[in-house]
């Protein structure tokens, strides 16, 4: 009887494993590919403390229409990073503020700026205030919005700022792949829209 029970238990285990794997595979994950602009050394040698703050009125990424397509979405997003002429590689999976920080750090490095975690007195600080990060379906189209304010501060004083707001739509075909493509393109545009050279120039002019 013990052997029979053991055999039955093994059979049940083998049945449960694929069901467990299937349930895990069904959890949707948003995929974003951030494509860097052409590299530049115009700001090479500069250091800046980078901080990303969540200033969104609503913390929900998915609006009603998109929630139907991403049922079970955890809120974490898979990030891959690519040079302007490369295929890219996966960096990891992050909540949205960490996602912004990872991408912005890569953007700074791409322009020769070293992002540091601990700021010394007099070290400039780049603060990213995330305002919007949403995905929805309107009619037969995916629609998305990413917005933030970038502030360059020194010794607690805001010396320069830029406001970035990016919106885009893409036709929904089958599945969620077009949503990933839309978010990847919009995210890349939003991060790359920040004019770091102008931000530093304005800060230096006001600082003097």
Q: Is residue 127 part of a domain?
A: yes
Q: Is residue 8 part of a domain?
A: no
Angle value at C-alpha 78, between 33 and 75, nearest 5 degrees: 125
Q: Is residue 12 part of a domain?
A: no
Q: The domain that contains 138 carries what CATH number?
A: 3.40.50.10610
Q: Is residue 122 part of a domain?
A: yes
For residues 127 and 151, the answer to whether their CB atoms sit within 8 Å is yes
Task: Please write the tens of the pLDDT for every residue from 169-208.
Answer: 988 876 678 999 999 999 999 999 999 999 999 988 876 5
Report how far residue 107's alpha carbon sits from residue 99's, in angstroms, rounded to the nearest whole number. Answer: 12
Q: Is residue 6 part of a domain?
A: no
The pLDDT value given to residue 6: 56
Task: Please write the tens of the pLDDT for every residue from 5-48.
Answer: 555 445 544 544 444 443 444 567 899 999 999 999 889 989 99
Tell me if residue 119 falls in helix, strand or coil: coil
Q: How many domains does one find in the chain?
A: 1
Task: Kindly report the pTM of this predicted structure.
Answer: 0.84
Q: 118: which residues sit within 8 A by CB, 6+ positions away?
A: 49
Task: Please write the tens of the pLDDT for every residue from 85-142.
Answer: 788 899 999 999 999 999 999 999 999 999 987 777 788 999 999 999 999 998 889 9
Residue 71 pLDDT class (50, 70, 90 cuts): confident
The pLDDT value given to residue 155: 87
Q: Is residue 3 part of a domain?
A: no
The stretch 67-91 carries a mean pLDDT of 90
The pLDDT value given to residue 20: 41
Task: Please write the tens of the pLDDT for every residue from 139-173.
Answer: 889 999 999 999 999 888 999 999 999 999 988 87
Q: Is residue 14 part of a domain?
A: no
For residues 109 and 102, the answer to whether their CB atoms sit within 8 Å is no
Residue 79 pLDDT class (50, 70, 90 cuts): very high
Q: Is residue 66 part of a domain?
A: yes
Report how far residue 44's alpha carbon sits from residue 114's, in angstroms, rounded to the nearest whole number. Answer: 8
For residues 134 and 182, the answer to whether their CB atoms sit within 8 Å is no
Domain that holds residue 84: 27-207
């Amino acid at each position: 009887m013990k052997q029979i029970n053991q055999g039955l238990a093994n059979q049940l285990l083998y049945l449960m494993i694929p069901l467990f794997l299937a349930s895990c595979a069904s959890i949707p994950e948003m995929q974003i590919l951030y494509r860097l602009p052409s590299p530049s050394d115009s700001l090479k040698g500069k250091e800046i403390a980078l901080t990303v703050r969540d200033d969104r009125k609503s913390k929900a990424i998915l609006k009603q229409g998109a929630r139907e397509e991403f049922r079970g979405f955890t809120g974490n997003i898979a990030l891959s990073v690519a040079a302007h002429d490369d295929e890219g590689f996966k960096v990891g999976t992050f909540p949205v503020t960490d996602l912004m920080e990872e991408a912005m750090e890569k953007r700074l490095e791409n322009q020769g700026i070293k992002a540091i975690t601990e700021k010394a007195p007099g070290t400039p600080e780049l603060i990213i205030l995330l305002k919007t990060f949403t995905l929805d379906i309107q009619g037969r189209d995916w629609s998305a919005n990413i917005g933030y304010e970038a502030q360059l501060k020194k010794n607690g004083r805001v010396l320069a700022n830029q406001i970035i707001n990016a919106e885009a739509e893409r036709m929904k075909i089958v599945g969620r792949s077009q949503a990933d493509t839309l978010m990847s393109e919009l995210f890349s545009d939003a991060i790359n829209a920040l004019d770091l050279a102008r931000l530093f120039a304005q800060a230096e002019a006001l600082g003097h």
